[in-house]
A and B are shown apart, each in its own frame.
Chain A
């Protein structure tokens, strides 16, 4: 029996594996007490990190941000000459590209 590395187990915890991989890991965990231990350790660490980061995250999210400084005119002059350099944003919004959007891979299935 081949065990999964910690990175893979954490990805499993975070729900970031493809459905197939996730099933594989799940099946392995059911049969491997050692990996279950590792997983429990990772889950505890993950939870603690999350708990500690939360106040920092909300402090950053609630920062009062003053109005943006005027966009420097000099930045326009310094813009490199690229073919696709300037796209009309509102145009794009009103007329989305005709090509169909690719469905996102993995995660949602």
Chain B
């Protein structure tokens, strides 16, 4: 047999399973995985929250990140947190692409006109300045939004390219556009809020 069966399959074979440290191998691996899940969960959620701006979405995506860790872990564990961030960024981009379409259909009008109904459970995220930035980010194309946020968080162009699935040489160009649209939308938003006061 050339392929190793995955944990789920091994479970069925428990009786025949190899013992490691006196415990069935699968059980031990599962425990190791769950330990990593507990250890890194909060950091990955914060990273995702930063990228997608909404806790419910972040909490959905984080499950996919760890599922990926379980099914196709990185070949080496040099920088596991970096790997989790990268996978998280990619999945966040997908989520934003789907989310954006959904939101454009359903919620954007509400967001713009009734910012107070946006379910923001955290006091810090409720500050006016933070909310405004969130709304501006919301209006950007997902790719530009992510590039901007990843750069701000100190990721290299190479890492950003990998997260976005683009050539490293094009990250600069994406960021130039992203900066421009961010600032243009921000000024619009500033003007818009004053108009909304009637």
Which residues of A are interface residues toward B (Cβ below 8 A)? 5-11, 14, 16, 42, 45-46, 48-50, 52-65, 67-68, 71-72, 75-90, 92-93, 96-97, 101, 107
Contacts and interface: CB of A to CB of B under 8 A. Distances in A.
B148 A49 contact: yes
Residue of A46, A57, A58, A87 ringed by the most chain B CB atoms within 10 A = A87
Given A62-B124, A86-B4, A79 B70 contact: yes
Contacts of B90: none
Contacts of A55: 127, 129-130, 133
A60 B50 contact: yes
Contacts of B85: none
B8 A10 contact: no
B153 interface: yes
Interface string B123-134: 011010110011
Residue of B9, B71, B80, B182 ringed by the most chain A CB atoms within 10 A = B71
Interface stretch (B96-104, B111-119, B173-181): B173-181
Nearest to B42: A65
A79 B176 contact: no
B8 A89 contact: no
Contacts of B41: 65, 67-68
Given A57-B152, A61-B50, A65-B46, A82 B71 contact: yes
Residue of B26, B66, B151 ringed by the most chain A CB atoms within 10 A = B151
Nearest to B45: A65
Interface string B82-94: 0000000000000
A50 B179 CA distance: 10
25 contacts: A5-B173, A6-B172, A7-B172, A10-B175, A11-B171, A14-B157, A55-B130, A57-B152, A59-B125, A67-B41, A68-B37, A68-B41, A75-B67, A76-B30, A79-B70, A81-B9, A82-B72, A85-B6, A86-B26, A86-B73, A87-B73, A89-B73, A89-B80, A90-B32, A93-B77
B179 A46 contact: yes
Nearest to B160: A16
Nearest to B122: A63
Given A56-B50, A57-B153, 18 more contacts: A6-B172, A46-B179, A55-B127, A56-B129, A56-B133, A57-B152, A59-B122, A59-B124, A59-B130, A60-B46, A60-B125, A63-B45, A78-B8, A82-B6, A83-B3, A83-B4, A86-B6, A92-B76
Contacts of A68: 37-38, 41-42
Given A45-B183, A60-B50, A92-B77, A79 B8 contact: yes
Contacts of A14: 151, 157, 172, 175
A56 B179 contact: no
Given A42-B176, A77-B8, A86 B46 contact: no
